[in-house]
Structure 1
């Protein structure tokens, strides 16, 4: 399964780059993540619980960062095992471009599943993978930009831990 999309984030490229490489931000943005540890240099370890159709599983896996062109592009590659539910593998090529303090983030994602997950059928799995990617990048945008006008959340510039990361 493959997909591509583009997001516009109201922040400079350095801020978006720092967020993409932060385990705290990744934990906040990956749907179902209960744990994300490690670093961009050594790779990240993650625990993610998800329900795909009738199958609910906790995946334990690793994410590596490669093809790094500082503040311009990178590839995130992950693989997780969910016990009897099967496995999930994926890679995302991410590119950043900045104009007037606004960053355009473009990504191409490829995902594969096996085991019980693969038996669910491509329509369910593909829909789920698209939803996960959309949720991740939407949440990344929200974490970096802070609440939008009209949100019920109180006005906050950025979460304090994100400020520490990018300062």
Structure 2
């Protein structure tokens, strides 16, 4: 399954990059993630509960941040397993400053699904992926807004 999208943020790229490298922030803004625990340099154990159309499940596995080029880009390598199937994905994240105070975050990658997930159907899962990415972007916007309102 191909994953692709973008979103404009009212924040500089270095600020967004820093937030995305923080495990606590990432756990708060990623839909369904209940636990994100560092296991090494740029590697994490992740537990997520996700509902995908008619299918829902608890996933556990690994997340790795690779090919970091601060603050322009990085690659997320995801391996999640559950009773309803497995997900393996590599997603490139690009941060492009469109001005000194705005940044376009773009993502592009592929997810490989197995088990019941693979049989659920591309259209259903593409819709779920789209919904999850919108929730992620909204949560990141709220996190940026909260940060802007904190006293210096």
TM (norm. structure 2) is 0.88
Q: CA deviation at 1:53?
A: 2.4
Deviation of 1:39 after TM superposition, in Å, equals: 6.9
Superposed displacement of residue 146, structure 1: 3.3
Q: Specify whether residues 53 and 6 from structure 1 end up closer, same or farther in structure 2 by C-alpha distance, changes over 3 A only.
A: closer
Q: Which has the higher strand share?
A: 2
CA distance in 1, matches of 2:126, 2:5: 15
CA contact (8 A) 2:14 2:70 kept: no
- 1:86 equivalent to 2:85? Answer yes
Give the deviation of 1:96 after TM superposition: 1.2
Q: CA deviation at 1:6?
A: 2.0
Distance 1:26 1:88, change over 3 A: same
Matched, 1:157 2:117: no
- Cα pair 2:42 2:66 within 8 Å, conserved: no
Unaligned runs of 5+ in 1: 148-155
Which 5+ residue runs of structure 2 have no aligned equivalent? none
Aligned to 2:46: 46
TM-score by length of 1: 0.81
Query: In structure 2, do the counterparts of structure 1 residues 54 and 4 end up closer, same or farther at CA, with 3 Å as the change threshold?
Result: closer
What does the per-residue CA deviation read over 1:15-55, in whole Å, with 9 as the maximum and x for residues that have no partner? 10111111111111111111011178241111000122232
More displaced, 60-69 or 93-102? 93-102
Moved over 3 A (4+): none
Residue 138 (structure 2) pairs with residue 138 (structure 1): yes
Task: Report the counterpart of residue 29 of structure 1 in structure 2.
Answer: 29
Residues matched between the structures, number: 151
